[in-house]
Amino acid sequence: MAVYTDVAPAELEAFLSGYDIGTLTSFHGIAEGVENSNFLVQTTRGSYILTLYEKRVNRDDLPFFIGLMEHLAARGLSCPQPVAQRSGAVLSEIAGRPAAMVTFLPGVSVRRPTAEHCAELGRGLAQLHLAGADFAMRRANNLSVAGWRPLFVAADGQADDVAPGLADAIAAELATLEANWPQGLPAGVIHADLFPDNAFFLDEKLSGIIDFYFACTDFLAYDVAVCLNAWCFEPDGSYNVTKGRALLSGYEAVRPLSGAEKAALPRLARGAALRFLLTRLVDWLNVPEGALVRPKDPLEYLKKLRFHQAVDSAQDYGLAA
Amino acid sequence: MAVYTDVAPAELEAFLSGYDIGTLTSFHGIAEGVENSNFLVQTTRGSYILTLYEKRVNRDDLPFFIGLMEHLAARGLSCPQPVAQRSGAVLSEIAGRPAAMVTFLPGVSVRRPTAEHCAELGRGLAQLHLAGADFAMRRANNLSVAGWRPLFVAADGQADDVAPGLADAIAAELATLEANWPQGLPAGVIHADLFPDNAFFLDEKLSGIIDFYFACTDFLAYDVAVCLNAWCFEPDGSYNVTKGRALLSGYEAVRPLSGAEKAALPRLARGAALRFLLTRLVDWLNVPEGALVRPKDPLEYLKKLRFHQAVDSAQDYGLAA
Q: What is the pLDDT of residues A132-152, one digit of tens each?
A: 999 999 999 999 999 999 999
Whole-number pLDDT of residue B320: 83
- E-only strand ranges, B165-233: 187-190, 199-202, 205-209, 216-219
From residue A271, how far is each of A173, A174, A228, A302 by CA, in Å? 9, 9, 12, 11
Give whichever of A31-40, A92-101, B265-274 has the largest mean pLDDT.
Answer: B265-274
- Name the residue of chain B whose CA is nearest to A205's CA: B25
Whole-number pLDDT of residue A98: 94
Size of interface A-B (CB pairs under 8 A): 80
Any residues with CB less than 8 A from the CB of B10 and at least 6 apart, and which?
Answer: A110, A111, A112
pLDDT in tens, A104-128: 999 999 989 999 999 999 999 999 9
Contact A25 B107 (CB under 8 A): yes
Cα Rg of chain A, angstroms? 20
The C-alpha atoms of residue B199 and residue B121 are separated, in whole angstroms, by 8
Backbone phi, psi, residue A199, to 5°: -130, 135
The minimum CA-CA distance between A16 and chain B, rounded to whole Å, is 14
Residues of B with CB below 8 A from A23's CB? Answer: 203
Whole-number pLDDT of residue A1: 38
Whole-number pLDDT of residue A290: 55
The minimum CA-CA distance between B21 and chain A, rounded to whole Å, is 16
The minimum CA-CA distance between A6 and chain B, rounded to whole Å, is 10
B42 CB within 8 Å of a chain A CB? yes
- Name the residue of chain B whose CA is nearest to A28's CA: B30
pLDDT beyond 70 at A293: no
Whole-number pLDDT of residue A207: 97
The minimum CA-CA distance between A39 and chain B, rounded to whole Å, is 9
Percent of chain B past pLDDT 70, that is, above it, reads 96
Any residues with CB less than 8 A from the CB of A147 and at least 6 apart, and which?
Answer: A141, A275
Higher pLDDT, A131 or B32: A131
pLDDT beyond 50 at A23: yes
Percent of chain A past pLDDT 70, that is, above it, reads 96
Confidence of residue A31 (pLDDT cuts 50, 70, 90): confident
- Tell me the residues of chain A between 276 and 315 that have a Cβ less than 8 Å away from chain B: 289-292
- Tell me the residues of chain B between 172 and 211 that have a Cβ less than 8 Å away from chain A: 202-203
The β-bridge partners of A242 are none
Is the torsion defined by CA of B288, B290, B295, B298 positive or negative? positive
Confidence of residue A291 (pLDDT cuts 50, 70, 90): low
The C-alpha atoms of residue A53 and residue A60 are separated, in whole angstroms, by 11
DSSP state of B82: B
SS3 B70: helix
DSSP state of A155: T
Is the torsion defined by CA of A32, A34, A36, A37 positive or negative? positive
SS3 B63: helix
The C-alpha atoms of residue A213 and residue A36 are separated, in whole angstroms, by 10
The β-bridge partners of A301 are none
The pLDDT of A197-201, averaged and rounded, is 96
pLDDT in tens, A46-76: 999 999 998 888 999 999 999 999 999 999 9
Confidence of residue B289 (pLDDT cuts 50, 70, 90): low
Confidence of residue B242 (pLDDT cuts 50, 70, 90): very high
pLDDT in tens, B23-37: 999 999 987 766 788
- Answer whether B309's CB lies under 8 Å from B278's CB: no
Q: What angle do CA B294, B298, B301 make, to 5 degrees?
A: 135
Across all residues in chain B, what is the average pLDDT? 93
Is the torsion defined by CA of B286, B292, B294, B295 positive or negative? negative
Confidence of residue A35 (pLDDT cuts 50, 70, 90): confident
Burial of A91 (0-12, 13-18, 19+ CB in 10 A): middle
Confidence of residue A294 (pLDDT cuts 50, 70, 90): low
The C-alpha atoms of residue A55 and residue A171 are separated, in whole angstroms, by 30
B14 CB within 8 Å of a chain A CB? no
B62 CB within 8 Å of a chain A CB? no
Q: What angle do CA A317, A304, A210 make, to 5 degrees?
A: 80
Whole-number pLDDT of residue A156: 78
The pLDDT of A3-10, averaged and rounded, is 79
- E-only strand ranges, chain B: 24-30, 37-43, 47-52, 92-94, 97-103, 187-190, 199-202, 205-209, 216-219
Is the torsion defined by CA of A146, A148, A154, A157 positive or negative? negative
ipTM of the complex: 0.82
- Answer whether A54's CB lies under 8 Å from A35's CB: yes
Question: For A122-131, A249-258, B157-166, which range has the lowest pLDDT when averaged over its residues?
Answer: B157-166
Confidence of residue A94 (pLDDT cuts 50, 70, 90): very high
Cα Rg of chain B, angstroms? 20
Mutant choice from A41, A108, A205, A293 vs B, greatest count of B C-beta within 10 A? A108
Assign residue B237 a region (left: φ > 0; alpha: ψ between -120 and 50; beta: otherwise).
Answer: left
- Name the residue of chain A whose CA is nearest to B37's CA: A31
The pLDDT of B232-240, averaged and rounded, is 95
Across all residues in chain A, what is the average pLDDT? 93
The β-bridge partners of B24 are B43
Residues of A with CB below 8 A from B106's CB? Answer: 25-26, 42
Whole-number pLDDT of residue A8: 84
The pLDDT of A284-303, averaged and rounded, is 78
Is the torsion defined by CA of B284, B288, B289, B291 positive or negative? negative
Confidence of residue A34 (pLDDT cuts 50, 70, 90): low
Q: List the domains of chain A with CATH numbers.
A: 9-103 (3.30.200.20), 115-317 (3.90.1200.10)
Whole-number pLDDT of residue B1: 38
User: In sequence order, which ranges of chain A are alpha helices (DSSP H)?
Assistant: 9-16, 62-74, 115-131, 145-154, 159-162, 166-180, 220-231, 241-254, 259-285, 299-309
Q: What share of chain A is helix, strand, coil (3-state, %, to 5)?
A: 45, 15, 40
- Answer whether B49's CB lies under 8 Å from B101's CB: yes
The pLDDT of A31-48, averaged and rounded, is 87
